[in-house]
Amino acid sequence: MKILLCLILLLIATYSTNGKRWDKIKSNSLEHDVFRSYKIRTSNFSGCPSFSANGVSIDKSIVKDVKVDTSMFNFQTCNKLGTQFPNYFFNFFSLEVNNNSTNNGSSDGSNSEDYHDIDISKISVGYMPTFIIEYAENNNVDGFQYGGDEILGYINLSKQKYSLTKDQVQLEGNNGKNFTVYRFDVATENNVFQMAFYISGAPINVGDVKLSAEQSKVDVSIINYYNESINVRSKNCLFDSKLIKNLNCASTGPSNNTQSRLAITSFFATKSKTIDFDEKNKNDSKIQLKNEEISAGFSWVTEASVTDNKGVTTNVKVISNTSDFSKFTDFGALMIKESFRNGFFQSKFIIHSFDSIRPNNLTHDPVLGGESSLDSSSTSSSSSSLTILLSFIVSLSLTISLLI
């Protein structure tokens, strides 16, 4: 039994060090960031892969005067009815500890040193890609416009079977401490739609993208969409309409249109009431929620990498359009509403269109998560027993919030 375990560990270790895209990851330092210890869980319950990464901060928090915070990423591919689009959530909890013993009204009053006022602040945001759209640019406005451009085909991302694999690597931080970078690869059965998620225990660079320990990068790839023996048209899929409405195909298969382009539709949502969408950023590469101490959101690089059928890779423009979610039920707006069962939420519908004709391989990389908005480093360190107590409370409150 032990030998088997060792073998498995050895296998994992070998696989990690030979891993594919680890070479583009480098340790980085961000002044206000922290180290995190992520606890990872993956599941394949009833063939629906999912993962969660629960990262408790070590020694300090990204929020001023706070001892510990938790950053949590959750990815799912199914709901109970098996009709969910893949969705990725970021939750952030911080605890404000006040040992100013004003709180002495408790009943037994025996261990007064355990009385702390604890404030939990919470940020919750989600990203849900819903369709790959194949379109013809008909209206001379850059990018795909629903109603303006012709839809040539699509892939419904809720009707795919997914697989998930996990990989990890240890890096040494700038302070000499080691941390772990995790990578999760999710792909449809035919590998046409792929997502690679990066989560790190300390700030890193992944290629040109800076990532804090509470952000996650997602490489979204569309590969061999135009090969009809790979992207096979679903049985009984009657796609003759130019609308996406009332159609029930997992994939329509590719069209033969020589001017065909691709786009990805998605939703970004939050249930935070106190935080507003930052509408000021007109560059359209970012949707940001800001409170005083952390800014959370969703951002993307405005170029995507494309490989043509001769194997030549170039960068192309990503045209993005962000609008209110409510008019886009055809694209899954009701599903994002459903995943925020507890009433209030705000959401945006995002179209990312890729300025390339019939690309073979296409990779785009949005970033989800948070970042400290402190302007001076918070250096409060805490006794380890307090940290353990607080992390327990964090997980507990998390569990409670998930149950409610």
Judged by the rule CB under 6 A, the positions of this chain that interact with ligand NAG are: 44, 47, 83, 98-102, 104, 141, 143, 145-146, 156, 158-159, 163, 170, 172, 178, 223, 227, 229-230, 244, 247-249, 255-256, 283, 285, 302, 307, 311, 321, 323, 360-361
Strand partners, 58: 35
**In this complex, which beta carbon is closest to ligand NAG, that of residue 113 or of residue 375?**
113
Residue 127 CA to residue 397 CA, distance in Å, equals: 23
What phi and psi values does residue 18 have, to the nearest 5 degrees?
Answer: -90, 0
- For residue 277, the minimal CB distance to ligand NAG (Å) is 15
**In this complex, which beta carbon is closest to ligand NAG, that of residue 70 or of residue 255?**
255
- For residue 230, the minimal CB distance to ligand NAG (Å) is 5
- For residue 273, the minimal CB distance to ligand NAG (Å) is 25
Question: Strand runs (DSSP E) across 291-398, as ranges?
Answer: 294-300, 303-307, 313-324, 346-354, 361-364, 366-372
- For residue 387, the minimal CB distance to ligand NAG (Å) is 13
- For residue 178, the minimal CB distance to ligand NAG (Å) is 4
- For residue 153, the minimal CB distance to ligand NAG (Å) is 8
Q: Are 225 and 233 in contact (CB under 8 A)?
A: no
Name residue 344's amino acid: F
CA 249 to chain centre: 26
Q: Could you give the residue ranges of the DSSP H alpha helices within 103-239? A: none
| Token representation of residue 293 | 């101490």
Residue of 212, 217, 218 lying closest to 370 (CA atoms): 212
Q: Round the CA-based radius of gyration of the chain to a whole number and report it.
A: 23
- Give the pairing of strands 162-172 and 178-188: antiparallel
Q: Greatest CA span in the chain, whole angstroms?
A: 78
**In this complex, which beta carbon is closest to ligand NAG, that of residue 95 or of residue 123?**
95
- Which residues, including other chains, have CB under 8 Å from residue 80's CB and lie 6 or more apart? none
> 61 by DSSP, 3-state: which?
coil
**In this complex, which beta carbon is closest to ligand NAG, that of residue 91 or of residue 255?**
255
Q: Are 325 and 348 in contact (CB under 8 A)?
A: yes
**In this complex, which beta carbon is closest to ligand NAG, that of residue 35 or of residue 124?**
35
- Give the pairing of strands 35-43 and 50-58: antiparallel
- For residue 401, the minimal CB distance to ligand NAG (Å) is 26
- For residue 9, the minimal CB distance to ligand NAG (Å) is 15
- Which residues, including other chains, have CB under 8 Å from residue 355's CB and lie 6 or more apart? 142, 261, 316, 317, 318, 319
**In this complex, which beta carbon is closest to ligand NAG, that of residue 285 or of residue 373?**
285
**In this complex, which beta carbon is closest to ligand NAG, that of residue 82 or of residue 399?**
82
**In this complex, which beta carbon is closest to ligand NAG, that of residue 111 or of residue 229?**
229
